[in-house]
Structure 1
Amino acid sequence: MNRFAIQRIGFAVLALAALVVVSPIVLVIATIVVRGISAINWEFLTAIPREGMKAGGIFPAIVGTVILTLGTALVAIPVGVGGAVYLAEYARDTAFTRAIRLAIVNLAGIPSIVYGLFGLGLFVLFLQLGTSIVAGSLTLAIMTLPVVISTAEEALRAVPTEFRTVSASVGGTQWQGIWHVVLPQAMPGIITGIILGLLRAAGETAPILFTVAAFYLPRIPRSAFDQTMALPYHLYVISTQVPGMPEQIQYGTALVLLAVTLSMNGVATAIRSVFRRRREW
């Protein structure tokens, strides 16, 4: 068998592997769209739930999901990127920093329910924040940090050393080089990590189960210390806890959650593309 035949077989195997990966995703999305599209209307998107959540809309859950995601971003982005800058640019390769990196990797693999119990113990009970948006956002931010730190650190390390050398050669301090040169060049990779982290946060149920989510709250929150409904928990409730729930409402809620996360992904991807076009290597 010549090398061209082997190459064709290799391409065929790779294409088959890609098809096996993509097909279940397409099937799931298609099922959600087909079964849930009939529930989507203006009332469903803008009204409050009523009649035991079997009628009305899911507006409070949509607002709650957006608020929690924004709260997570406000905490996770500066802390995560700051930690990545320290590890990539300032920290020396010592046993301590290696232990920190190992801890970050291990934290990324902890089940989300454990983060929920941690948030309950620390934020809700010990700090007495109660079941609130603040407690839920902080819990989700801690869960998101390992992904943001790891991807941001790799993006920073991928920037060629020559950029730092040129910055120092014209009299810039290390921080000036990082702020004006390294961070802009690493921004596409950093945004990728932020996207991954926030999308996970927006779709999680377990961390908010103990810290912020309300079973039924037909209004939007009035302060950061209120409970709120959220789409992932609302979907869990109407699928498992409410007897006689119409199937189209369940799939309609799943479709809205999917649309919200994909919209966030689209906006972040557009921002990433702008930074990628500005990259100079």
Structure 2
Amino acid sequence: MKGIESAVDSSMIKGVGSKSNIMKRRMQSKLFEMFFFGAIMFGIMMLMVLMANIIKEGIGWLDIDFITSFPSRFAKKAGIKSALVGSIWVMSLTFLFSFPLGVGTAIYLEEYSDKKKRFNKILQVNIANLAGVPSIVYGILGLAVFVRFMGFERSIISGALTLGLLILPVIIVSSQEALKSVPNELRHGAYAIGVSKWQTITGVVLPYALPGILTGTILAMSRAMGEAAPLIIIGAAGYISFLPESITDSFTVLPIQIFNWTSRPQAEFQNIAAAGILVLMILLLSANAVAVIIRNKYEK
């Protein structure tokens, strides 16, 4: 009897101890939840303050003349036309270069390559590491390879290829994760009815993984659209009074034009820089909205 009573007492003590541990874990979980929520709210508040300041300074300078005018030494005559058209040129070519190559690489690594081979493991690690390389390093690479070695000079194609290399690892990694999320049952079902591997990938796997692939591409393109350092390294012009007509022409982009205006001491140039930031954000949000609509369509 004493043994039974001691066993019951010990079990009760353990139960009380487990309840206290549960309460302790719940309290820790609540504290961490409050901490992370506070961090999110702090970031959102700082962003709102920054946006309010930009809108306050730039909204008065944002009009049709600002969009349709070329840069000038005089703030009242300065516009953003050449930088806006240059950004559209560069980002369009960047997408055409990086998206097919990135998705194709991800398909090879996930669907065709032998993951147990040492070469494929090294390749996978290097791709993941390249996603964290500073953007200015890609600018140095673009200057050495595209501008000098391949002879593209300081042109739109050099800028697009440099930015394409910058976002390529991000697209590859995100596309791989999207392909991994496709259930194997879908592949096996396609093989069971006699469909080839390539038809399975294009007809079953890619449509299922496309929303995730587009999500990663949106994030990568958003990063590329706001980059100035690699384009400055390869020699993108700070002042252009003409519109590029081909991929071999000189160019400038919105981030570089905004950077040049912010370096001026006059208060008027600070205001038109804020207006340029608003144009860049509108362009960025418009491109992202189109991509999100396409992604949501494939999700359905």
Amino acid at match of 1:198: M
Q: Once the two structures are aligned, what percentage of the paired residues are identical?
A: 37
Secondary structure, counterpart of 2:34 in structure 1: helix
1:123-148, CA deviations, whole angstroms, 9 ceiling, x for partnerless residues? 00011110000111000000110000
Paired position in structure 2 for 1:244? 266
Cα displacement (A) at 1:9: 5.0
Q: Distance in 1 between matches of 2:75 and 2:94?
A: 27
Q: Which runs of 5+ in 2 are unaligned?
A: 1-19
Q: CA deviation at 1:196?
A: 1.0
Q: How does 1:130-279 map to 2 (within 5 A)?
A: 130-211=153-234, 213-240=236-263, 242-244=264-266, 246=268, 247-277=270-300
Deviates more, 1:51-60 or 1:201-210: 51-60
Bigger drift between 212-221 and 124-133 goes to 212-221
8 Å contact from structure 1 (residues 238, 245) kept in 2: no
Distance 1:168 1:234, change over 3 A: same
TM-score, with structure 2 as normaliser:
0.87
Segments of 4+ moved more than 6 angstroms: none
Highest Rg: 1 or 2?
2
| RMSD, matched Cα | 1.9
CA contact (8 A) 2:83 2:253 kept: yes
**Partner amino acid, structure 1, of 2:274:** Y
1:92 aligns with 2:114: yes
Contact 1:159–1:186 (CA<8 Å) still a contact in 2?
Answer: yes
- Which structure 1 residue ranges, 5 or more long, are not aligned? none
Return the alpha-carbon distance in structure 2 between the equivalents of residues 245 and 136 of structure 1. 31
- 1:36-75 matches, within 5 Å, as 36-51=58-73, 55-75=77-97
Q: Give the secondary-structure state (helix, strand or coil) at the position aligned to 2:234.
A: coil
CA shift in 2, pair 1:272/1:165, >3 Å: same
- Give me the whole-angstrom Cα distance separating, in 2, the residues matched to 1:255 and 1:68: 19
Structure 2 partner of 1:128: 151
* CA displacement at 1:105 relative to structure 2: 1.3
Of 107, 127, 130, 1:104 maps to: 127
